[in-house]
Amino acid sequence: MEQVAVNPWVALAYLVSGVCFILALRGLSSPTTSQRGNRYGMIGMAIAVVTTLVTHVPTVSLIVEGEDYAAILSRVDKSAVFEILAAIGVGAAIGITTARRIAMTAMPQLVAAFHSLVGLAAVLVAVAAYLNPVAFGIADVVTPLIGQPFAVIHQVSRIEMILGVAIGAITFSGSVIAFLKLNGNMGGAPILLPARHPINLGLGLAIAWFAFSFWATQSPWDFWIVVLLSFAIGFLLIVPIGGADMPVVVSMLNSYSGWAAAAMGFTLHNTAMIITGALVGSSGAILSYIMCRAMNRSFISVIAGGFGQTAEAGGAGGAKVDRPWKRGSAEDAAFLMSQAEQVIIVPGYGMAVAQAQHVLREMADKLKEHGVRVKYAIHPVAGRMPGHMNVLLAEANVPYDEVFELEDINSEFAQTDVAFVIGANDVTNPAAKTDKTSPIYGMPVLDVEKAKTVLFVKRSMGGVGYAGVDNDVFYMDNTMMLLADAKKMVEEIVKSLD
Amino acid sequence: MDFVAILSIFVLACFVGYYVVWSVTPALHTPLMAVTNAISSVIIVGALIASAAAGSTGSKWLGLLGVVLASINIFGGFAVTSRMLAMYKKKERPAVAKH
């Protein structure tokens, strides 16, 4: 039944390309090897693209076996070649310009936008393969006694194709919503439709039914219905998920874009696509798992959405209680930190919003001049995507060996003079350790309250964190609240440190 | 290649992915997402086949559009990754000498 004539050299080239992609991810195990890894990725991609271009040259008529090169060359459809190269050129120009101009704080929405493109490209390839299956070597042409000859797509290919198109469509519409939320075009708050679980379940079952029917009959109706329903379910799945759960969503969509590529790899019998799909798919899945673990929530509960809505009712009551708290000034903060032996800075999403990373580094430099040891503590879900804070600090020239993950630094707070919390809240809340009724109970948190002094930069006392829970750290004797815009406050501290 | 051979490659690649990704340092999780994005655009292979094939105009144009989208991702993804990775620097020598 196999129709694809696989030239061993071609198969080998795709295998090499797949191995390059493995090396690309392997390089990311350390910042020192990461750039070399990225170059492996580029080489792998170049091999895959060139191999495909050479083995699928568009021709004006079929190449006859045994023809010499000159004859083959004369059959090449030059305008088609030009179109393909132009398409690559247009994409390259848009891609490189975007990559150069994008602000580091906008990285989460850029990644979401890129995911949507992978999803849409997968849909386009699947549709193209459906419309012209013979060109992809996945169909037999049957000539009936009466009527036109038609292509019968192999049944295995039908499953692979319908899976690819469905996952691609979900990735596309889900990523578009994630992009709109991250970019602020759409409110970050979860939008909850009544009966959304039955609707999603119904849609999922419908997709499965029509996919099964496509497998059995190759009916165009089934194919297009699956495409439409998949777009719809991707949209409905992401709409009810709130802003701070975006790290999980972005990771999940990352995973989906991989599975979509893998499904198309099965259709095309292409090793590079299958290896890449498996790598990207597991990468996204692992990142989602890490993010969920860091929030102590199950993947299902994040995807079910609506976090923070129910919690607000319970948490708001706690926030109303008038408890005494201390307010500090930039001068106080500057004095306390300059006298310290060690300061640990805890950045959160608020730092990204205020674009305070550069001035924060200036502050750390000033403190170092005073002989203070400065470290940064990063919670895995700080920010809107995995590793978001690390990139922002790297952008501000903070050396990566001053930046520590939660488990590596948490024991140090007890021996630290000042914990400087900027734009983070829930990830420092001790209620996660003690209060079983709290919605964030069980989430691993940074033990900032153990430091001798906690400086908490926050816009105002009114707002509570994303989870809608009050934070006991605000009211502790050793806490000083610095109420201001994060960037302005740090700028003032820098001035006072002179 | 028959289906089982392809499936074997896929399953083994999943295991490779699992171990390789766990060894990625958390500090580089954002570049990881950007680079996985770029490499998953290897789907351009399918788009190239579609745009080079004769027989269906619709398929050809969808393929070309796919080539554009995947190229945005490939060039954009690798460029933004290398831009990010270039920012990760170790502590400078004088700073180390202080301690």
Q: At residue B30, does pLDDT exceed 60?
A: yes
CB A213 within 8 A of CB A225: no
The reported pLDDT for the residue numbered A381 is: 87
Q: Is B69 within a domain?
A: yes
Condensed to tens digits (0 to 9), the pLDDT of residues A399-432 reads 999 999 999 999 999 999 999 999 888 889 898 8
Q: Is B71 within a domain?
A: yes
The reported pLDDT for the residue numbered A235 is: 92
Put residue A146 in one of left, alpha, beta given phi > 0 → left and psi -120 to 50 → alpha: beta
For chain B positions 43-82, those within 8 Å of chain A (CB to CB) are: 43-56, 58-60, 62-82
The reported pLDDT for the residue numbered B1 is: 67
Confidence of residue B94 (pLDDT cuts 50, 70, 90): low
CB A250 within 8 A of CB A178: yes
Q: Which of A245, A426, A447, A470 is catalytic?
A: A426
Nearest to A399 among B18, B48, B90 (CB): B90
Q: So where are chain A's domains?
A: 106-307, 321-497
- Provide the CB-side half-sphere exposure for A196 (13 A, CA): 19
Question: How far apart are alpha carbons A442 and A427 in whole angstroms?
Answer: 11
> How many Cβ pairs within 8 Å bridge chains A and B?
391
Residue ranges in chain A whose pLDDT is less than 70: 1-6, 62-65, 188, 305-321, 462-468
Question: How far apart are alpha carbons A392 and A386 in whole angstroms?
Answer: 12
- Greater model confidence, A63 or B59: B59
Q: Is B10 within a domain?
A: no
A401: closest CA among B95, B33, B80? B95
**Tokens coding B89:** 């620097």
**Interval B60-77 mean pLDDT:** 96
Residue of B nearest to A122 (CA): B43
Interchain proximity A390–B28, CB inside 8 Å? yes
SS3 content of chain B, % helix, strand, coil (to 5): 85, 0, 15
Q: What is the ipTM of this complex?
A: 0.92
The reported pLDDT for the residue numbered A315 is: 41
Judged by a CB distance cut-off of 8 A, whether residue B8 touches chain A is no
Architecture of domain A321-497: 3-Layer(aba) Sandwich (3.40)
- A231 φ, ψ to 5°? -60, -45
Q: How many CB atoms lie within 10 A of CB A97?
A: 14
Which candidate in A132, A158, A401 is best for mutational testing of the B interface (most B CBs within 10 A)? A132
Condensed to tens digits (0 to 9), the pLDDT of residues A71-119 reads 777 778 888 899 999 999 999 999 999 999 999 889 999 999 999 999 9
The reported pLDDT for the residue numbered B54 is: 79
Q: How many CB atoms lie within 10 A of CB A341?
A: 12
Q: Is B58 within a domain?
A: yes
The reported pLDDT for the residue numbered A24 is: 95
Total count of domains within chain B: 1
Nearest to A394 among B56, B66, B87 (CB): B87
* Predicted TM-score (pTM) of this structure: 0.88
Q: Which amino acid is at A274?
A: I
The reported pLDDT for the residue numbered A100 is: 94
Interchain proximity A34–B85, CB inside 8 Å? yes
Contacts of B89 in chain A (CB under 8 A): 394, 397, 399-400
A470 is catalytic: no
Do β-strands A453-458 and A373-378 pair in parallel, antiparallel, or remain unpaired?
unpaired
Judged by a CB distance cut-off of 8 A, whether residue B40 touches chain A is yes
Return the HEC string of chain A.
CCCCCCCHHHHHHHHHHHHHHHHHHHHCCCHHHHHHHHHHHHHHHHHHHHHHHHHCCCECCCCCCCCCHHHHHHHECHHHHHHHHHHHHHHHHHHHHHHHHCCHHHHHHHHHHHHHHHHHHHHHHHHHHHHCCCCCCCEEEECCCCCCCEEEECHHHHHHHHHHHHHHHHHHHHHHHHHHHHCCCCCCCCCCCCCHHHHHHHHHHHHHHHHHHHHHHCCHHHHHHHHHHHHHHHHHHHCCCCHHHHHHHHHHHHHHHHHHHHHHHHHHCCHHHHHHHHHHHHHHHHHHHHHHHHHCCCHHHHHHCCCCHHHHHHHHHHHHCCCCCCECCHHHHHHHHHCCCEEEEEECHHHHHHCCHHHHHHHHHHHHHCCCEEEEEECCCCCCCCCHHHHHHHHCCCCHHHEEEHHHHHHHHHHCCEEEEECCCHHHCCHHHHCCCCCCCCCCCCCHHHCCEEEEEECCCCCCCCCCCCCHHHHCCCEEEEECCHHHHHHHHHHHHC
Contacts of A222 (CB under 8 A, 6+ apart): A210, A211, A213, A214
The reported pLDDT for the residue numbered B99 is: 45
**Tokens coding A470:** 């009050």
The reported pLDDT for the residue numbered A122 is: 95
Q: How close does chain B come to A197, measured CA to CA in Å?
A: 29
**Tokens coding A363:** 């502050």
The reported pLDDT for the residue numbered A466 is: 64
Q: At residue B41, does pLDDT exceed 70?
A: yes
Interchain proximity B80–A41, CB inside 8 Å? no
Q: Is B17 within a domain?
A: no
The reported pLDDT for the residue numbered A425 is: 85
Q: Is B14 within a domain?
A: no
Parent domain of B75:
27-90
Contacts of A283 (CB under 8 A, 6+ apart): A25, A254, A255, A258, B17, B21, B32, B33, B36
Q: At residue B97, does pLDDT exceed 60?
A: no
Question: How far apart are alpha carbons B95 and A75 in whole angstroms?
Answer: 65
Q: Is B4 within a domain?
A: no
The reported pLDDT for the residue numbered A278 is: 95
